[in-house]
Amino acid sequence: MVIRRELGANGRLLYNILIDASDSTCMQAPSHNRKAIQNPAILIPTSENQKIDPWVCAGIPKKIKINSNLNHHYTFDNFIEGECNRLARSAGYAIADNPGGNAFNPMFVYSATGLGKTHLLHSIGIKIKENFPDKTVLYVSSEDFLRQFIASVKNQTVNDFNYFYQSIDVLLMDDIHNFAGKAATQEQLFHLFNYLHQNNKQIVLTSDKSPLEMEDIEPRLLSRFKWGLSAQLTPPDAETRVQIIKSKIMDDGGIVIPDDVVEYIAYRISNNVREIEGVLKTILAESILSKRTITLDLVRGIIDQIATNTNKEVSIDYIKSVVCDHFNISVNDINSNTRKREIVQARQLVMYFSKEYTQSSLAKIGKLCGNKDHATVLHAHRTVKNQCDTNKKYKLQVQDLEKKLKC
């Protein structure tokens, strides 16, 4: 009215809206933009392989189809199941069946390094894309999220950052422990979390600690992490490790590694699957490039050289060699049926240590110690224990052998 009165019927008020992009707490995308982002039908497909850095695509209102950043080598099919990951793996499957509409939102996966968190995250994303090709899935490492956020603050494009992340149906965020002490990023994640959760979008997070043990993370964020399911990945047991090794060997082209060598690797490295993979890659290189035969000795050398956190205990073969050295007898004597007293005593010790320090079954131990049955192994184990309890000199000898086995 005032304009018409002052300028006449053709008077127009022109104005620009300036958004203060430094306000990192502002999460609401303008409604017209939000509508555009949330309608996947208007996204223009780009080449599937073209890697789009979410941050470079500033201005989500531009029509884009995001690259999910998924690693297609990490699938459920090659994520070997064991007691160590059963809960997380089946919850991952349930999520892939109904992302956002299940009881596991968020799903919080935690473990020490090298136990499959990243692998599981990609498996979930790949399965969701298989089941729901139109869903916008994004795998993002905490480092990338952090880098993108800092850049957005610097370039005053925080709103674009928010639009981008608000457009996602399934957010797979890796290693969020890296946000410890990063208050502004945590604040951003807090708002994003709320937005996605309220809109029934799926969130899966990984961390090296459980929400209870995480430090320097805001309590309100931690409490949200606990809303859904927290699932721990633990080190795989010996049987699962053997299966993982066999599956990795197949993936690497199926070089032939004798079973006792596979079991030896599984025994020596029990806490980190990534280390097992490192050893397998070196074995592969030795066998293909240096044309070396894969023997227990070669693998022992490789493990000692490149693996950390290994178990000192080794194979039944190694136990045999230490015990035989001690008694100055030959390994063939242990493998034979001879009933000579000193051989029987050494064989019993081999059985005892094999049961104590390897993951092998009683049947297997018996088979490798002169084709005996599992009852004989149990009897040998009991005999050695009883003698240790009653005979001090014998006990010292057993302790001496133990030291040799462990060094």
Q: What angle do CA 171, 117, 101 make, to 5 degrees?
A: 40
Q: Is the Cβ of residue 118 or residue 358 nearer to Mg ion in the bound state?
A: 118
Determine the size of the site formed for ligand ADP (CB under 6 A). Answer: 17
Query: Nearest residue to Mg ion, using CB?
Result: 118
Q: Tokens 């073209």 label which residue?
A: 50
Figure out which of the listed residues 144, 218, 260, 277 binds ligand ADP, where binding follows CB under 6 A: 277
Token code pair at residue 40: 């996947």
Q: Which is nearer to Mg ion, 273 or 350 (CB)?
A: 273
The pair of structure tokens assigned to 45 is 């497909």
| Subset of residues 71 to 100 that bind ligand ADP, contact rule: CB under 6 A | 74, 78-80, 85
- How far apart (Å, rounded) are the C-alpha atoms in residues 93 and 230? 15
Binding site for Mg ion (CB under 5 A): 117-118
Minimum Å distance from CB 28 to ligand ADP?
Answer: 34
* Using rule CB under 6 A, residue 334 touches ligand ADP: no
- Residue placing its CB nearer to ligand ADP in the complex, 166 or 240: 240
In angstroms, rounded to a whole number, what is the distance separating the alpha carbons of residues 91 and 120? 10
Per-residue mark of binding to ligand ADP, 46-75 (x: CB under 6 A): ----------------------------x-
Q: Apex CA 184: angle with CA 178 and CA 189, to 5°? A: 65
322: which residues sit within 8 A by CB, 6+ positions away? 401, 404, 405
Establish if 391 lies at the interface with ligand ADP (CB under 6 A).
Answer: no
Q: Do residues 353 and 401 make contact, with C-beta atoms less than 8 angstroms apart?
A: yes
- Among 62, 274, 404, 406, indicate the residue that binds ligand ADP (CB under 6 A): 274
**92, 99, 106, 114: which one contacts ligand ADP (CB under 6 A)?**
114
205 forms bridges with which residues in the sheet?
108, 173
Q: Is 225 in the site for ligand ADP (CB under 6 A)?
A: no
- Kindly state whether residue 372 participates in binding ligand ADP, applying the rule CB under 6 A: no
Nearest-5° Cα angle at 370, 366 to 372:
40
- DSSP secondary structure string for all residues of 226-267: TSSEEEE--PPPHHHHHHHHHHHHHHTT-----HHHHHHHHH
Minimum CB distance to ligand ADP smaller for 46 or for 243: 243
Residue 136 CB, shortest distance to ligand ADP, in Å, is 23
Q: Which is nearer to ligand ADP, 60 or 172 (CB)?
A: 172
CA distance 139 to 141: 7
Does position 282 interact with ligand ADP (CB under 6 A)? The reply is no
Nearer to ligand ADP, 220 or 274 (CB): 274
For residue 140, the one-letter residue type is: V
Bridge partners (DSSP) of residue 206 are 109
What's at 291, amino acid-wise? K
- Range 116-135, binding ligand ADP (CB under 6 A): 116-119
SS3 205: strand
- Does residue 111 interact with ligand ADP by CB under 6 A? yes
Distance of CA 183 to the CA centre of its chain: 26
Q: Which residues of 349-372 are buried (b: 16+ CB within 10 A; e: fewer)?
A: bbbbbbbebbbbebebbbbbbbeb
Residue 252 touches which member of ligand ADP, Mg ion, none, C-beta under 5-8 Å by kind: none
Nearer to Mg ion, 69 or 118 (CB): 118
Give residues in contact with ligand ADP (CB under 6 A).
74, 78-80, 85, 111, 113-119, 244, 273-274, 277
